[in-house]
Amino acid sequence: MVLDLSSGIVSTILIIIGIFLVVFIVFKLGKVILGLIVNIILGFIAILLLNAIFNIGIPWNWLVVVITAVLGLPGVLLVVILKFLGIMLLGLLV
């Protein structure tokens, strides 16, 4: 038996499968993006709290913002370690 793609039933089934695939991919990407956004927000809040409570003095320069935005909380830990070691990156004291 040969499937006739001009048939209404076959076309409808293929469209429904395509819609389900698109919805599945969008939800999977949405979860990843939402997780990244939460991690970024937690990272920035952590730097604010560290500066406010412990007066660590982490500067708000573009390097700190990029590290925190990309890595989130592990990025904050990296910035704090670099700050205590006095390491300069790209000419900026972290």
Stretch 80-94: mean pLDDT, rounded?
A: 77
User: Rounded to a whole number, what is the largest CA-CA distance in the chain?
Assistant: 76
Stretch 3-22: mean pLDDT, rounded?
A: 81
pLDDT of residue 2: 58
pLDDT of residue 31: 87
Separation between Cα atoms, residue 26 and residue 86, nearest integer Å: 43
Separation between Cα atoms, residue 77 and residue 33, nearest integer Å: 22
pTM as predicted: 0.66
Separation between Cα atoms, residue 53 and residue 94, nearest integer Å: 18
Separation between Cα atoms, residue 19 and residue 78, nearest integer Å: 42
pLDDT digits (tens, 9 = 90+) for 23-74: 999 888 888 888 888 888 999 999 999 999 999 888 888 888 889 888 989 9
pLDDT of residue 48: 94
R_g of the chain computed on alpha carbons: 24
